[in-house]
Amino acid sequence: MRVDLHLHTNASDGQYSPTELVNLAREYSLEVIAITDHDTTDGIREAQEASQISGMPLVIPGIELSAEDSTGDVHVLGYHIDLESAYFEERLAAFRADRYSRGQRILQRLAGLNLPLDWERVLAIADGGSIGRPHIARAMLEAGYVESVRDAFDRYLHNGGPAYVARARLSPEEAVELIHSAAGVAVLAHPGLLPDYAAVIRRLVPVGLDGVEVVHPSNLENVRLNLRALAQQYNLIMTGGTDFHGPKVKEHVTLGSVTPPDGCVAALQARARQRRQEMGYRA
């Protein structure tokens, strides 16, 4: 089974619309995908409708919550999210509002560095999606201020960088609990990017962390082996995905280019079904 469980659309900071991404996934013969946009579920229904045309790929409703602790960004993926959860959507709306004002403040800092950008152009690049630093990075690239999106982050937009503005703080523990509030399955995203992923996993297991993204382009082979051992120790579901955004955002990441561990799709479904039963959902 060809699977990719970490994909972004232009509902957040991806290049392609949900329909375009589903069509591309079909071209790559993917059978199951997960839409995991940053702090929004806005692209999921369109993706599911597009997938119904031919019956594939199956689209798992997901999310990637942007959490933060003293060591930096800690992202948590949610799978099989209940899209009808009013509380969950209210919290996401607050996050998106903060992203909007944060983006404006980042542009103010860039202007102070003699790197002015047009806010309307950033909004156009976001194309109605949740505003994020990658949109600003793309605007900087268009303006000729940087050589690439990565260059924009390395020089200006990274955590603590000269144009960085902190977002509304959501702890990793709160991210896990928020995903659970929508009957979702919480998975630690791209652990290889964390300075001490083992410590983060140990912190999150007591609040119900369900899984860990073992296979990701940023996880080196030794990291994957360590993550497998930790997953077995703490009975965590092992998942995987490319973190695909499109070549204009992440040029070296190809859709479906990594293979998640066997059985992860069924394990996510089983855990989600169990959570819904515990929460009193009707079968």
Residue with tokens 């929460």: 279
Name the phi and psi angles at 77, rounded to 5.
Answer: -85, 145
DSSP secondary structure letter of residue 154 = I
Burial class (CB in 10 A: 0-12, 13-18, 19+), 260: buried
CATH 3.40.50.12160 fits 3-91+168-278, yes or no: no
**CA–CA dist 215, 234 (Å, integer):** 17
Radius of gyration over every alpha carbon of the chain, rounded to an integer in angstroms: 18
Element (H, E) at 239: strand 237-240
Domain residue ranges of the chain, discontinuous segments joined by +: 3-91+168-278
**What pTM did the predictor assign?**
0.84
Dihedral angle computed from the Cα positions of residues 255, 260, 265 and 270, in that order, rounded to the nearest 10 degrees? -140
pLDDT tens per residue, the chain (283 residues)?
899 999 999 998 899 999 999 999 999 999 999 999 999 999 999 999 999 987 889 999 999 998 988 778 899 999 999 999 999 999 998 888 888 899 999 999 999 999 999 999 999 988 777 788 988 999 999 999 999 999 999 999 998 899 999 877 789 999 999 999 999 999 999 999 999 999 999 999 999 999 999 999 999 999 999 999 999 999 999 999 999 999 988 888 999 999 999 999 999 999 999 999 999 887 5
Dihedral angle computed from the Cα positions of residues 215, 267, 274 and 185, in that order, rounded to the nearest 10 degrees? 20
